[in-house]
A and B are shown apart, each in its own frame.
Chain A
Amino acid sequence: MNTTTFSIIAAAVGLVVLACAHWLAVDYFFFAGYTILQFVVLATAWNILGGYCGYVNFGTAAFFALGAYSSVFMHKTFPLPIPLLIVFGAVVSGIVGLGMGYLTLRLRGAFFSIATLAMAVVFQTLVVNWDYVGGSRGAYIIHPENFEFGPLKVHYIEYLFVLMLALAVIALVTARTIERSQLGYGFATIRDDELAAEACGVPTLRLKLIATTLSGAFMGMAGAPFPYYIGYVQPQSAFALDYAVNSIAMPMIGGTTSWVGPLVGSILLGSAQQYATVTISSAVNLLIVGLMLVAFVIIAPNGLIGLVQERGRAWRKP
């Protein structure tokens, strides 16, 4: 299947999801669906660097919050429609990703991971001390009740849901395109044996920088509409470690080598968490995510996709 066909199918699936959601017309569905789609984008973005190149980014929360806070900043200085804010957030996070990568990716992989972990703490420090975007008190973003565009009039949450749905489709199409392009093969050589790849003339640093920038940009995109969704952003919620652990756990549980893994992982884990948050408590559901992450990396290193593939192979060769 070539990329164009896949894009059309992905867009069609997106439209079907939207049609079903619109027909149901339950606001809670949009709220829950938005969160799950946000995780689809974050997990796919993480996987571009983590799954394809094998570099672990612990700073998802930092990139996400960068996107969110660039929206808060623009909201106060120069209000723009949300799609443009998403582009702005992507540019900011992408540039930060590039800078981080340039400083740390020339060294061993572990340094990059540690630097991303520390980066989250530092950006939080900066935001806490920056009063213009609300500081430690947080910032209120009040959005209109309805979104109107010409004759079209829908609840604002449905508008946000549609944006996030579109982002998820774009992220998945991008991930799949990368996977099947020369770029993706280059990423895979880095993951398998970076030294050998370098020796064969693969420009490893440039490829890693491309991956970091793309990955960071998508995380920023996921974060940009967040202030409008939540209505009140404060550093603790935007920088929550939940984003980091979820965006690692979802691809790991689904499977990291293809775009299907993060999608499956985020839909499963995202829905389970929506359910657990409502029925049990949010602390318990984070504990479950942590336990599942550890269990999967030990028992099923290739995730659910890996398990299915093994089963398929065993079935074909009796």
Chain B
Amino acid sequence: MDFNLLINAIIAGLLLGGFYAAVSAGIAIAFGMLDIVNIAHPAFVILGSYIAYTVNINLGVDPIVVSILALPAFYALGAFIYQVYYLSFEKRGQEALRGLAFFFGLLFITEVTLLLVFGADYRYVEAAYIGPSIHVGQFELPLRMLVPCVVALALFGAIQLFVTRTFIGRAIMAVSQDQLALQLMAADPIRIKRIAFAISIATASIAGALLIVIQPVEPSVGRDYIGRVFAICVLGGLGSMPGTLVAAILIGVVESLTATFYGPSWAPAVSFGFLLLTLAVRPAGLMGR
């Protein structure tokens, strides 16, 4: 086995894992803390990619800057979706069957709409950091991967600080543990959950921009991420942000090694293997409660 190849694969995996953390952050909040099985999340990530793409191509603005400017719009979208979800399903106690079907429908609508508007061609963005690499000795750090990884870690750190240090953040943790108790403390759990879900959708904006920096995007790319992000959240332990980060990096590295030594067409099977293994052996995940 070529040692250089191994190290480069591990480095690429670490960078990829950082990016996976950004995509998983939204699911970690929605599924891990709020118990909302938002399988449409990857579709919103792709929506974020296309918004970054459209603005980048027409106005030449950096895709990551675009995604930060688009945060309020995604936040509003998330708040709206939660309101519909709450009134239609959670309030009536029907989230298990119909709530899932609802998100599946949203996934489909988003994907097909993007397909009708942009077509099935791969789209990509332009930015100064796409292309060049930093060389450290014999090891290569492509900026196209390094920049998204750094932004993703910053996003992840910001969310972790938010949920552990601020009042609203702690309220979100509280609602994930005991909704009734929160109500007894005279706080409105629905408002807290709406804020949390809106934040989870807002992360999709940034994750989308990072995705289109890393690779060209077409509307159905999101499907590959559904299994992956849920595998990461389950492996990390539901509700645990540090666990999710560790799991994201672990899956990134294993996928990168698989792609390097067995061929890229096997990489999608990695996350599923992890998912089944976790569910069978330790359903609580690495750092679950």
Binding site for B on A (CB under 8 A): 50, 54, 56, 58, 103-104, 107, 109-111, 113-115, 117-119, 121-122, 124-126, 128-129, 136, 191, 241, 244-245, 248-249, 252, 256, 283-284, 286-287, 289-291, 293-294, 297-298, 301
Contact = CB atoms under 8 A, between A and B. Distances in A.
Nearest to A129: B265
A115 B276 CA distance: 7
27 contacts: A56-B100, A103-B280, A104-B276, A104-B279, A107-B279, A110-B31, A110-B37, A111-B279, A113-B100, A118-B230, A118-B231, A118-B275, A122-B269, A125-B269, A126-B269, A128-B265, A129-B263, A129-B265, A241-B220, A249-B105, A256-B97, A283-B112, A287-B108, A291-B109, A294-B102, A297-B102, A301-B98
Contacts, number: 126
Contact of A297 (B98, B116, B266): B98
Contacts of B112: 283, 286-287, 290
Contacts of A111: 234, 279, 283
Contacts of A294: 102, 105-106, 109
A118 B116 CA distance: 25
Contact of B271 (A118, A129, A241, A287): A118
A240 to B, nearest CB: 10
Contact of A293 (B104, B224, B227): B104
Most buried by A among B88, B98, B223, B266: B98
Contacts of B263: 129
The 6 closest A-B pairs by CB, nearest first: A118-B227, A290-B108, A294-B105, A293-B105, A290-B109, A122-B272
A109 B96 contact: yes
A119 B272 contact: yes
B39 interface: yes
Most buried by B among A109, A113, A297: A297
B130 interface: no
Contacts of B105: 245, 249, 290-291, 293-294, 297
B268 to A, nearest CB: 5
B108 A286 contact: yes
Contact of A117 (B96, B101, B227): B227
B109 A287 contact: yes
A93 to B, nearest CB: 18
A117 B37 contact: no
Contacts of A245: 104-105, 108
B94 interface: yes
Interface of B: 31, 37, 39, 84, 88-89, 92, 94, 96-98, 100-102, 104-106, 108-109, 112-113, 115-116, 220, 223-224, 226-227, 230-231, 234, 263, 265-266, 268-269, 271-273, 275-276, 279-280, 283
B18 to A, nearest CB: 22
Contacts of A113: 37, 39, 100
Given A121-B224, A248-B101, A289-B108, A283 B268 contact: no
B275 A125 contact: no
A129 B266 contact: yes
Contacts of A104: 276, 279
Given A54-B96, A298-B88, A114 B39 contact: yes
Contacts of B97: 50, 54, 56, 191, 256
B39 A298 contact: no
A188 B273 CA distance: 32
Nearest to B94: A301
Contacts of A136: 265
A65 B195 CA distance: 40
Given A114-B226, A297-B89, 12 more contacts: A56-B101, A58-B104, A107-B283, A111-B283, A115-B276, A118-B230, A121-B227, A121-B268, A122-B227, A286-B108, A290-B105, A291-B109
A281 to B, nearest CB: 9
A54 B95 CA distance: 11
A107 B282 CA distance: 11
B96 to A, nearest CB: 6
Given A111-B279, A118-B271, A287 B101 contact: no
A125 B92 CA distance: 39
Given A54-B97, A293-B108, A115 B269 contact: no
B248 to A, nearest CB: 16
Contacts of B98: 252, 297, 301
A133 B41 CA distance: 33
B39 A117 contact: yes
Contact of B230 (A114, A124, A125, A283): A114
Contacts of A122: 227, 268-269, 272-273
A117 B104 CA distance: 11
Contacts of A107: 279, 283
A256 B226 CA distance: 26
Contacts of A297: 88-89, 98, 101-102, 105
A50 B98 CA distance: 10
Nearest to A103: B280
Contacts of B100: 56, 110, 113
A115 B275 contact: yes
A256 B94 CA distance: 13
A218 B46 CA distance: 34
B279 to A, nearest CB: 5
B265 A287 contact: no
